Amino acid sequence: MTRYILALSLALTAFCPAQEDLRTNLEKTYGIWRAALINKDAATWQRVTAEHRRVEVRNRILSEKRAFPATLFELPAPPPALGGLKFLEANQNGATAKSAYFGKVDFGVGGVPTDNLLVLSFVRGAGGWQYDKADFVNLTALPEVRTELAAGKLAYLRGVPEARPSSVVPPTPIAANPATTIAKVYVFSPGREVQVQINKISRHRFANAKEAQIVIGGARNGLNEVQYSIRKLEGGTGEEALTIRVYLMSEIEGLKPFKAFEYLVPEKATFQPFGTGTFNLDAAMAAKLSGK
């Protein structure tokens, strides 16, 4: 009798009506969001996309001097469908939720999809669940995890931060004006974390990186402010070379980007953990870069 009760308890735990309802609601939201992109339905996309993500996407598009919302729909392939994927779990934590899937996630980029992990994130808005983002976890180097997930064993998910709802709804960024001059911030930071803020609206984080990110709002005509902070990461020596630059991007073929700001730290040199600098964009340079 004890064994029967235990088996029944486990079965009831495995079938959780609340989780099934959550799964249904999240998948409905994702389906509407995906269809909105495929059908180029900007109004529906606005309605079912989390507010912070809507503003973030709009800011990026306008900062690249592209058209919004038309650029939303310039996709090489539609977002992956959930059909054919194995549902793993759905979890809610406050106003955030995530659902996880396993299988051949097809992004339409060619080749034969392999079995991997897809985690969808949502936040609760005034009208219900809204889609936030998708995290794709490539399991090529983790064949044992593939075997476990295929068998419905979910232990791996407990250690994946992307798969656990945090209860924290990301803040909504300040809405940026369309850029007049496209700009990018470039950072080379082995062994260090660098945070950069430009004109108090464009915030960037780089960790052990060598990459460039678009400046939200672009470079302004006149004076522009660059604030930065630097800290050593675990495993770093604190003596690595470091570079922070802001480039003004040309819209004219053959005209190279213009380096407007630079902070360099040679190897083994001391550095400022915090700093503020400026650069000026005059009308002549703005016109040269835009070709007007």
CATH class (in words) of the domain with range 2-163: alpha beta
**What are the residue boundaries of the structural domains of the chain, listed by start?**
2-163, 183-290
The pLDDT of residue 3 is 41
State the pLDDT at residue 88: 97
Residue 17 is predicted with a pLDDT of 66
Sheet bearing 96-104, strands edge to edge: 86-93, 96-104, 115-125, 128-137
**pTM for this prediction:** 0.87
How would you class 29 by CB atoms within 10 Å of its CB: exposed for 0-12, middle for 13-18, buried for 19 or more?
buried
Strands lying side by side in the sheet with 202-207? 202-207, 192-198, 222-232, 274-281
Please state the length of the chain: 292
Q: How far is the C-alpha of 178 from the C-alpha of 250, rounded, in Å?
A: 16
CB atoms within 10 A of CB 162: 15
The rounded average pLDDT for each run of 10 residues, N- to C-terminus, in the chain (292 residues) is 38 56 97 97 98 97 97 92 96 97 88 92 94 96 96 93 94 95 97 97 96 97 97 93 97 94 95 95 94 80
pLDDT recorded at residue 144: 97
Report the pLDDT value the prediction gives residue 133, as an integer from 0 to 100.
Answer: 97
What does the pLDDT read at residue 291?
83
